[in-house]
Amino acid sequence: MVDISTSIGPLQLKNPTMLASGIMDEDAGSMQRMIDCGAGAIVTKSIGLKPREGYANPTVIELDHGILNAMGLPNPGIELHGDEIKKLRATNVPIIGSIYGADANEFVSLAQKMQQFGANAIELNVSCPHAKHYGLEVGCDPDLLQKIVSSVKQHVSLPVFVKVSPNIMNLAEIVQSIEEAGADAIVAINTVKAMKINLETARPVLANKTGGYSGKAIKPIGVRCVYDIAQAVDLPIIGVGGITTGEDAIEYFMAGASAVQIGSAVYYRGPEVFKSVCDEIKTWMKNHRYTKITELIGAAFR
């Protein structure tokens, strides 16, 4: 009997697949569809204090091996989004509220609202590669990040996860500051900062010029980051980046992840990707005589 349930700190998941923030997660209907298709947990769209329109088009382009986007964190604001989270209170999988802010006070206010609305955990988005004042400017400063995480932990009783960037040189220092601040888990990674230039116009294709690259091409980067983080801290890790198959997920487990988030593959394979990945994990584990996810976690460095 193969058991693919897992845990992230106090959060229990019936399977290790989670919907990543930013796709099919703005309203209750789309999130419920992901649940019905087998997602073990849902991460909401990143939400701020006030409504935000995001950047002008073009904001998303498909490249040969992934997706490049610079959406600019468009969202309806925490009050309106709260109505969507409330509709999912009766669901049987954890709902993780993703939030972004410019300072500790904003993150605390948002986290308290998420808890009030019924979220089961908080994900701090401090790593968006294309959002001025809200992304990497926050996530590359260990002192600011430590203040944010510790402040949120002091004001909510929910597990707090922190999503980190691959676009920084001081990753070990960053995750260690997150651990010291009392976070419950690390989410790795956010998208990779990238650009596409139109050869005919000699201009960047995205209106914002640079964006975040996701999809299969970034999986080796994500796996490396998870492996490095697992050497630096003792926190649970949620792996993100290029996960399309069960074997992709298992590679993340062996690098040190306890669960994985799936985003771009929903676009490529449809919502059924969650069930497919879970089935593929079970088949691989059975064929290789593993019975629990815990037997795989960190196998690459044990």
Q: Using one digit for the tens of pLDDT, what is the confidence trace for 87-135?
A: 998 898 999 999 999 899 999 999 999 999 999 999 999 987 666 656 5
pLDDT of amino acid 127: 80
**Could you give the CA distance from residue 176 to residue 252 in angstroms, rounded to a whole number?**
20
Rounded average pLDDT over 134-139: 64
Q: φ, ψ for residue 213 (rounded to 5)?
A: -100, 130
Rounded average pLDDT over 52-68: 93
pLDDT of amino acid 131: 64
Q: Is residue 300 part of a domain?
A: no
**Could you give the CA distance from residue 93 to residue 42 in angstroms, rounded to a whole number?**
7
User: Does 299 score more than 70 pLDDT?
Assistant: yes
pLDDT of amino acid 137: 63
Q: Are 183 and 235 in contact (CB under 8 A)?
A: yes
Q: Which residue has the higher pLDDT, 266 or 128?
A: 266
Cis bond before residue 189 (omega within 30° of 0): yes
pLDDT of amino acid 140: 78
Nearest to 97 by CA among 165, 159, 183: 159
**Could you give the CA distance from residue 28 to residue 88 in angstroms, rounded to a whole number?**
7
Share of the chain above pLDDT 90, in %: 88
Structural domain count of the chain = 1
CA angle 9, 162, 179 (to 5 degrees): 65
- Cβ neighbors of 43 (< 8 A, separation 6 or more) are 18, 19, 20, 21, 25, 96, 98, 123, 261
Of the candidates 37, 128, 140, 278, the residue annotated as catalytic is 128
pLDDT of amino acid 202: 98
Q: Is residue 1 part of a domain?
A: no
Query: Binning pLDDT at 50, 70 and 90, where does residue 167 land?
Result: confident
Query: Binning pLDDT at 50, 70 and 90, where does residue 221 land?
Result: very high
Q: Is residue 113 part of a domain?
A: yes
pLDDT of amino acid 302: 78
Nearest to 117 by CA among 86, 92, 160: 86
Q: Is residue 49 part of a domain?
A: yes
Q: Is residue 108 part of a domain?
A: yes
- Cβ-based burial of 265 (10 A; exposed 0-12, middle 13-18, buried ≥19): buried
User: Does 138 score more than 90 pLDDT?
Assistant: no
Q: Following DSSP, what letter does each residue of 226-284 receive, concatenated? A: HHHHHHH--S-EEEESS--SHHHHHHHHHHT-SEEEE-HHHHHH-TTHHHHHHHHHHHH
**Could you give the CA distance from residue 240 to residue 188 in angstroms, rounded to a whole number?**
6
Q: Are 68 and 207 in contact (CB under 8 A)?
A: no
Active site residue 225: no
Nearest to 230 by CA among 191, 271, 185, 267: 185
Share of the chain above pLDDT 70, in %: 96
pLDDT of amino acid 184: 98
**Could you give the CA distance from residue 240 to residue 278 in angstroms, rounded to a whole number?**
16
pLDDT of amino acid 135: 57
Q: In whole angstroms, how far apart are CA 255 and each of 113, 216, 222?
A: 34, 17, 10
User: Does 291 score more than 80 pLDDT?
Assistant: yes
pLDDT of amino acid 134: 61
pLDDT of amino acid 130: 63
For residue 188, the Cα-to-chain-centroid distance in whole angstroms is: 7
For residue 177, the Cα-to-chain-centroid distance in whole angstroms is: 19
Tokens 């640079």 belong to: 210
pLDDT of amino acid 133: 55
**What's 228's domain CATH number?**
3.20.20.70
Q: Is residue 302 part of a domain?
A: no
pLDDT of amino acid 76: 93
Q: Is residue 185 part of a domain?
A: yes
Q: Are 296 and 290 in contact (CB under 8 A)?
A: yes
3-state secondary structure of 63: strand
Residues of the domain holding 58: 6-295
Q: Which residue has the higher pLDDT, 257 or 137?
A: 257
**Residues β-bridged to residue 17:** 260
